[in-house]
Amino acid sequence: MTDRDPFTDDDRQVPAGDGSALLLDIDGFEGPLDLLLELARAQKVDLLRISILALSEQYLAFIAEARRLRLELAADYLVMAAWLAYLKSRLLLPKEEDKEEPSAEELAQRLQIRLRHLAAMREAGAALMARDRLGRDVFGRGAPEGLALEKRPVYDVTLYELLRVYGAFRMRSSVTSLTIRRRPIYALDAALRRLGALLDTSLNWTQLRAYLPPEIGDPAMRRSALASLFAASLELARTGRAELRQMETFGPLYVRRREAK
Amino acid sequence: MTVRHDIDHEPEEMADEHLRMIEALLFAASEPLAVEEIAARLPAGLPVDAYLARLEEDYRSRGVNLVRTGERYMFRTAPDLAFLLRREVEEPRKLSRAAVETLAIIAYHQPVTRAEIEEIRGVGLSKGTLDVLMAAGWVRICGRKRTPGRPLTYGTTDDFLAHFGLPSLDDLPGIDELKATGMLDGIDDLFAEAGAGMNADGETSVSTEDEDDATGS
Amino acid sequence: MTVRHDIDHEPEEMADEHLRMIEALLFAASEPLAVEEIAARLPAGLPVDAYLARLEEDYRSRGVNLVRTGERYMFRTAPDLAFLLRREVEEPRKLSRAAVETLAIIAYHQPVTRAEIEEIRGVGLSKGTLDVLMAAGWVRICGRKRTPGRPLTYGTTDDFLAHFGLPSLDDLPGIDELKATGMLDGIDDLFAEAGAGMNADGETSVSTEDEDDATGS
């Protein structure tokens, strides 16, 4: 069995007096322990001084009466009745030395402790409910402005990340542009035309560098032009139109026209 | 008066200004505020506890009091003025005896399992009872007990403290007495070793009386 | 000081008690209270106006003020402390790669239009990206470009410089400087197989190529 609906009001009948005038309203009790506690209350003595034997007798009488009236009794109550009947007999019989089982007095004491405990909790509950309760006896601010918590996103990007991302991105984009576009060069065709024409103007050994187009100022472009002129000089030498000479390693390179034989 | 002392380290007008700030925060809040929540909205390093103690004192005699519930603070109307404020609207539904008892058992014995509650009350707990207490925001699931079956355990919430005006669980009515009489010891101990425990508590008179009764009647 | 006088007709402790009551009523009220509403809840014949004036004064310098709106009174947190009631908490978030790239492009190329950013990145810019950067306070609208359609241009803010610890935009390192720090080494490897031209210093080579194209071969 379980207790009753949490919101039903408790208007049960408390057994009055010595228990002889029991008002049988078994539904009003929250289980056998509750019934026992109420019966104990009816003894009007401190729970510490309650007679468990008398209590057992009262309980058994209550149950007997309920059965006589054919009231429906939950199993819990009957189990408790059986146990109390047993306890009662143990309490009345002469003591036996039995180490196996707790003595009748111990059993009685346990029951008494349980009753005291339940009573204590019941009182505590009542004391709680009697406190000045928020929203009933004491009140918080009726119209609180409330405390707002505004979340402001903070991005944890560092300069390092920013630069790295930008760098990576620029590298990527420069790769693509380099594969599409041509390198800045002085074309070999142009070098061949220029060297071929200029060789005819001189019979002496002349530094190859002297044939660089003077209008090219950009060093990179000059480097490219020099490379192209060198390649052109090699081409002219291969076809027998020019001679090349170098006096030492990494020394200046000289070129002159070669007379056709 | 270390409290005063702490604040007195600050120039008076600064202290006043900080008191104003805390006052404003507590007034504006719709829920009890934790000390850290207050501190988070104030200049760093203030002795918030000292300020709160000061405000508590300043408001003690007023129509509105500063009270602590759990580790939180809130302003609320003075209890003695309840007669003035009690709302005409019908009271929230009265809790059943079962629910009140269950709440008390949870409050005093937490963390406690459903089986333990049933053990104390000597009756099964209907499903609705815990629901009602949890819906009211007073009871929460604490965790699981380290016993076979790992049953759930229940305990009370901060709202419970706030609702019943309790600074802490140590302020539960009658808790000292209950502790002293061993009522709040482990529930298993309480019942299984009741006999032995009783003697240790020096309440041997009980057992003799029981014996008396047993032999007497 | 007629106000004081009115109250002073009462014994002091009575006056205090009445002040407490009004205080509690106003505190607990969910709406501003009219003088008559307050009077109706108090013992008859009290100089409620005088009490209210007194409370108004008592609370004037505090974190909570008694304010009158129309013929009604209510407690309100002091206006100068309103800033306390709002609290911003910083919520760290990760910026998307697209956003970081966009930010970098704006930083290096400002003032720059959305179309230009898209052209540089080679992909469309989702609506949110610029919003996020502007919400973060790093990017602002600079003006409009003098081209057909007069598109908006974007640039960075002072907050941007502050956040990244840059004295000025000139202190943003150039690509070759970045390479010199070795910061892009990993990236180099990434693109190494993509072309030998990598070693030419990014920025300048691009422009010379353009010139080369112009001169033809």
Indicate if C58 and C120 belong to the same structural domain: no
User: Highest-confidence range of A41-50, A98-107, C6-15, C28-37, by mean pLDDT?
Assistant: C28-37
Residues B119 and B154 in one domain: yes
Q: Residue A224 is encoded by which pair of tokens?
A: 């490219």
Q: Looking at the predicted complex, does its ipTM rise above 0.90?
A: no
Confidence at residue C184, expressed as pLDDT on a 0 to 100 scale: 61
CA–CA separation, B107 vs B201, rounded Å? 23
C5 domain-assigned: no
Classify the C-alpha dihedral A30-A36-A39-A43 as positive or negative: negative
Contact state of B121 with A106 under an 8 Å Cβ cutoff: no
Give the pLDDT band (50/70/90) at residue C8: low
Interface mutation vs chain B, best among A30, A134, A136, A150, most B CBs within 10 Å = A134
Instruction: Tell me if B54 is assigned to some domain.
Output: yes
pLDDT of residue B185: 79
Claim: this prediction has a pTM higher than 0.80? no
pLDDT exceeding 90 applies to what percent of chain A? 10
| C48 contacts C32 by C-beta, under 8 angstroms | no
Mean pLDDT in chain C? 77
Residue C119 sits in the same domain as residue C200: yes
Task: Give the total number of structural domains in chain C.
Answer: 2
Residue B108 domain-assigned (yes or no): yes
* Residue A207 in this model has a pLDDT that exceeds 60: yes
pLDDT (average), residues B23-31: 91
Half-sphere exposure of C162 (CA within 13 A, CB side): 7
Same domain, C182 and C137: yes
Do C62 and C129 lie in one domain? The reply is no
pLDDT in tens, A112-154: 888 999 999 999 999 999 888 888 888 888 888 887 777 777 7
Last residue of a domain, one of C42, C57, C85: C85
In a domain? residue C90: no
Higher pLDDT, A26 or A133: A133
C22 in any annotated domain: yes
- In C, minimum Cα distance to A163 occurs at C104
- Minimum mean pLDDT among A156-165, C31-40, C74-83: which range? A156-165
Nearest chain C CA: its distance from B168 CA (Å): 24
- Coil, helix or strand at residue B46: coil
User: Residue range C179-184: average pLDDT?
Assistant: 65
Contacting residues of B for A110, CB less than 8 Å apart: 191, 194-195
Q: Does the pLDDT of residue B78 top 60, yes or no?
A: yes
Tell which residue, B110, B122, B119, B89, has the closest CA to residue B154: B110
Lowest mean pLDDT: which of A25-34, A54-63, A174-183? A174-183
State which residues form the domain around C168: 97-216
> Which of B85, B106, B130 is the endpoint of a domain?
B85
Which of C30, C105, C191 lies at the smallest CB-CB distance from A172? C191
Query: Per-residue pLDDT for C22 more than 90?
Result: yes
Q: What is the distance between the alpha carbons of residues C103 and C112, in angstroms, rounded to a whole number?
A: 11
* C66 and C136 share one domain: no
Last residue of a domain, one of C85, C120, C149: C85
* C185 and C141 housed in the same domain: yes
C147 close to C154: Cβ distance less than 8 angstroms: no
Do C77 and C124 reside in the same domain of the chain? Answer: no
Asked whether residue C4 is domain-assigned, the answer is: no
Place A72 in a pLDDT band, splitting at 50, 70 and 90.
confident
What is the pLDDT at residue B182?
A: 83
Q: How confident is the model at residue C51 (pLDDT cuts 50, 70, 90)?
A: very high
B144 or B210, which is more confident? B144
Q: Are residues C199 and C106 in the same domain?
A: yes
% residues pLDDT > 70 (chain C):
77
Note which residues in 126-145 of chain C have CB less than 8 A from chain B: none
Average pLDDT over residues B138-147: 90
**Residue bearing the bigger pLDDT, C110 or C56:** C56
Question: Is the preceding peptide bond at C111 cis, omega within 30 degrees of 0?
Answer: yes
Q: Are residues C118 and C160 in the same domain?
A: yes
Among the partner-chain residues A146, A164, A184, the one whose CB lies closest to the CB of C209 is: A184
On whether residue C136 sits in a domain, the answer given is yes
> Of all residues in chain C, what percent are helix, strand and coil, respectively (each to 5)?
55, 15, 30
Statement: residue A183 has pLDDT above 70: no
The closest CB to that of A138, out of B77, B104, B191, belongs to B77
Report the CATH number at residue B80. Answer: 1.10.10.10
Q: Is residue B1 part of a domain?
A: no
Same domain for C211 and C109: yes
Q: Is B193 helix (H, G, I), strand (E, B) or coil?
A: coil
B204 & B109 share domain: yes
* Statement: residue C70 has pLDDT above 50: yes
